[in-house]
Amino acid sequence: MLIKNAIVCDVDGEREVDVRIENDLIVEIGKGLSDSETVDAQGAYLLPSLIDLNVRLKDSQLNSKSITAVAQEAKQGGVGHIVLNADSTPAIDDEVVLEFAQNSIKTIDDVQVDLMLNALKEDMTLSNIAILLKKGVIAPYMSTIAKNNIAIKIAEYVQMYGVTLFCKAEDNSLINAGVMLDGDVSSRLGLAGIPELSEVLHVSRMIEIARYFDIKILFKSIASPRSVELIAKAKEEGVDVACEVSLHHLVHSDEACEGFNTTAKLNPPLASKNDMTALCEALKNGLIDTLTTLHQPNSPVNKEVAFYDAAYGCEALSDALPLYYTKLVKSGLLSMRELLKLTVENPAKNIALQAGKIEVGERADLVLFDISKKYKVKNQQSLYNGEELVGEVKSI
């Protein structure tokens, strides 16, 4: 198959060339190529499909139906590779659950679905990390509700197997008491708040563990600019840590919770307007390593209730590429090349893969993205419901 008249863009930049594909591999790139099967891109972008390392299933229920559904949403949004979060129900913390999840993934062939393991069992003891890693999970996931002795044991396993530790920085005693960021908006709404320190304190703690054990930690869905600063400083000092931020925290503040809007009830909670602006500055300055849609779909019965009782999360995966383009590229925050670094190349590095380049010999895991098209989001569970987005994703 030949794709012609496309703007080919990857982490190296943009160029106008033809791309020929055989057996899912890129075999030739150039101008004036020919093939019996030709796709005319008509000026659309040809891009590597995106990678999202922080995807949850509907109502966090681990079953075949929800896995198939989230894979379809990923494909629709231009995401070709997802990693399912481990804190599902049941959690991926033993061999039986892992085998069930892996069998559910086998029938999915158009989106790569990987699994992380939950390093902590419900009773706060260690899961069998060694066996689960050997059986194919991509990375261990840990919430910092773990006590120091447990966190150190997890770090030792990470060091032993040379994988990245996916870490959610949060303080159990603080997150259980609140439902949104502690600040002016929470006070005005009369809702219990979660202080920013809940995250910052544990980012500091885990940086020191990464430094001591010489391991890599990806801090998941960071919401505090102070956390970003701490991670950036640690990187300068040679500590192997990375920072993931969600799209929502770059374009929405806690003011989105006004009117008790449960769609804006996220984990971590949306930051203040000043902190949202600071996160955008950090993005422009290259201090954020990866982006996520923080996709966490819920049934209406779990969202259309009082704010305090509502489940955390919103939907974004099926609109991923148009959202990133509209909110970050078209707005001038990032170039398309920079976006692909944050949504393809860097996420891949965190799971020991190489991706982000369109060149001969690489897998043709590509999408066409037509920025001449626009559409309105029609999804009550999306923070962007009713908004016009630029771009249409076309599978190849």
Cβ–Cβ under 8 Å, residues 396 and 366: yes
Q: What pLDDT is recorded for position 395?
A: 82
Q: Tens place of pLDDT for every residue, the chain, 396 residues? A: 999 999 999 999 999 999 999 999 999 999 989 999 999 999 999 999 999 999 999 999 999 999 999 999 999 999 999 999 999 999 999 999 999 999 999 989 899 999 999 999 999 999 999 999 999 999 999 999 999 999 999 999 999 999 999 999 999 887 887 999 999 999 999 999 999 999 999 999 999 999 999 999 999 999 999 999 999 999 999 999 999 999 999 999 999 999 999 999 999 999 999 999 999 999 999 999 999 999 999 999 999 999 999 999 999 999 999 999 999 999 999 999 999 999 999 999 999 999 999 999 999 999 999 999 999 999 999 999 999 999 999 988
b (16+ CB within 10 A) / e for 320-356: bbbbbbbbbbbeebbebbbbbbbbbbbbbbbbebebb
Q: What pLDDT is recorded for position 396?
A: 81
Beta strands (DSSP E) in the chain are 2-10, 13-22, 25-30, 38-40, 45-48, 50-55, 79-84, 112-118, 139-143, 164-168, 180-181, 193-194, 216-219, 241-246, 290-292, 366-376, 388-395
Q: Give the integer Cα–Cα distance in Å for 12 and 338.
A: 9
Q: What architecture is the 49-355 domain classified under in CATH?
A: Alpha-Beta Barrel (3.20)
